[in-house]
């Protein structure tokens, strides 16, 4: 309760122990993040533990920004993957504030923070700003000889290239990332992520066999090392390849499997993508009303988490929605779309499982 909190704060001030307690609290949060990182931030239980302690983490970051900015920078950067899969808007804000507050932080700490900030900026569709941050991070990592950081920066520069329609450059950057991760030979998510991105770039060039092969390799690697976020991504990628080749029954199976994994681990961005993919399948099967509902549900979820449609995907996305609108007519489409937008996540998943016909 706030009254208890205020009373305890007043007693702490009277005792003159505020600074010592804040430092202990900050150290506790840093150790929490370090333990989560050591256990693997690709594991759902680690992310959920951080989510449960998010108010503590926020408090520690706010206090450290005012008094120990280097510690704030390192804590915010250490949470990079957590921010990305759960709270990228908030994560970006903390990273940017910490970078401004700690210009004298060690180069490696700044490189990690800059690169994660670039990744969050890309996620929000600000490609030129993301490119500038990622290039700065890449330069720092190369100067420091930090190969993992180099690979991470290159991978995200590849994402920017893909978003800006430079698909050949994107594939080259992602292929270089795969090579670096294999050279480093860790059981790291970087390999799976880079393979997924390689598949996405190949798909954009309509090279379906290459895209499928990259997604399949990522899927096998992700399952071997228990990387559920990357597994969900690979499954959705295979669904997109199947859709592009008008293999809608196969696509529906891939999207449904991806949706189940993404829902379990709390990856709302992937859930939204799967709902949109299943909407495309429903539209192709003649279920225009179901498609409109799913498109509406996907759009509402994207807006709630701040996840825009990237340009390489937007033309297909809009054309599919327009085809459904034309089939239903605008009044009926508006009703179905609104019904989809009003669905909770659980209701949208239930609709997929119970209402959509098997492909």
Q: Return the pLDDT at 44.
A: 73
Q: Return the pLDDT at 25.
A: 80
Could you please report the per-residue DSSP string of 168-232?
Answer: HHHHHHHHHHHHHHHHH--S-HHHHHHHHHHHHHHHHTT-HHHHHHHHHHHHHHHHHHT-HHHHH
Q: Return the pLDDT at 10.
A: 57
- CA dist 167 → 141, 164, 288, 305 (Å): 24, 8, 32, 27
Q: Return the pLDDT at 187.
A: 66
Residue 29 maps to a domain: no
Residue 80 maps to a domain: no
Domain carrying residue 251: 244-359
Number of domains within the chain? 1
Predicted TM-score (pTM) of this structure: 0.85
Q: At what angle do helices 44-52 and 248-265 cross, to 10 degrees?
A: 50
Give the chain's end-to-end CA distance (angstroms, integer): 52
Residue 73 maps to a domain: no
Residues of the chain under the 50 pLDDT cut:
none
Spatial contact of 84 and 120, defined as CB atoms under 8 Å apart = yes
Q: Return the pLDDT at 6.
A: 66
Residue 347 maps to a domain: yes
Residue 338 maps to a domain: yes
Residue 131 maps to a domain: no
Spatial contact of 163 and 312, defined as CB atoms under 8 Å apart = yes
Helices (H), the chain: 2-15, 18-39, 44-52, 54-67, 69-78, 80-86, 88-101, 107-123, 127-144, 147-163, 167-184, 189-204, 208-225, 228-244, 248-265, 268-284, 288-305, 311-328, 330-342, 345-354
Residue 104 maps to a domain: no
Residue 40, sorted as left (phi over 0), alpha (psi -120 to 50) or beta, turns out to be left
Residue 130 maps to a domain: no
Question: Which distant-in-sequence residues (6+ apart) come within 8 Å of 2 by Cβ?
Answer: none
Q: Return the pLDDT at 183.
A: 87
Spatial contact of 307 and 272, defined as CB atoms under 8 Å apart = yes
Residue 125, sorted as left (phi over 0), alpha (psi -120 to 50) or beta, turns out to be left
């Amino acid at each position: 309760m706030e009254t208890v909190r205020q009373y305890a704060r007043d007693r702490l001030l009277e005792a003159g122990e505020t600074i010592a307690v804040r430092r202990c609290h900050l150290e506790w949060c840093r150790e929490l993040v370090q333990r989560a990182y050591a256990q693997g931030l690709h594991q759902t239980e680690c992310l959920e533990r951080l989510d449960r302690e998010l108010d503590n983490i926020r408090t520690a970051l706010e206090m450290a920004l005012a008094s120990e900015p280097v510690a704030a920078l390192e804590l915010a950067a250490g949470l990079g993957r957590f921010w990305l899969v759960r709270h990228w808007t908030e994560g970006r804000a903390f990273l940017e504030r910490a970078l401004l507050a700690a210009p004298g932080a060690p180069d490696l700490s700044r490189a990690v923070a800059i690169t994660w900030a670039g990744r969050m900026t890309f996620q929000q569709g600000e490609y030129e700003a993301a490119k500038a941050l990622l290039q700065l991070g890449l330069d720092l990592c190369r100067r420091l000889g930090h190969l993992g950081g180099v690979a991470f920066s290159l991978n995200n520069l590849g994402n920017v290239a893909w978003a800006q329609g430079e698909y050949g450059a994107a594939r080259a950057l992602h292929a270089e990332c795969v090579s670096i991760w294999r050279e480093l030979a860790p059981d790291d998510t970087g390999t799976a992520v880079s393979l997924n991105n390689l598949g996405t770039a190949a798909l954009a060039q309509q090279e379906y066999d290459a895209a499928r092969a990259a997604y399949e390799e990522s899927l096998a690697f992700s399952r071997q090392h228990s990387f559920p976020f990357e597994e969900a991504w690979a499954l959705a990628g295979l669904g997109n390849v199947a859709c592009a080749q008008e293999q809608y029954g196969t696509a529906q199976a891939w999207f449904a499997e991806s949706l189940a994994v993404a829902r379990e681990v709390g990856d709302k961005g992937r859930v939204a993508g799967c709902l949109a993919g299943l909407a495309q399948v429903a539209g192709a099967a003649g279920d225009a009303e179901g498609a409109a509902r799913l498109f509406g549900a996907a759009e509402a979820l994207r807006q709630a988490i701040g996840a825009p449609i990237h340009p390489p995907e937007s033309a297909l996305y809009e054309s599919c929605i327009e085809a459904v609108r034309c089939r239903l007519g605008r009044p009926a489409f508006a009703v179905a779309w609104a019904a989809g937008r009003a669905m909770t996540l659980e209701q949208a998943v239930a609709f997929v499982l119970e209402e959509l016909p098997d492909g």
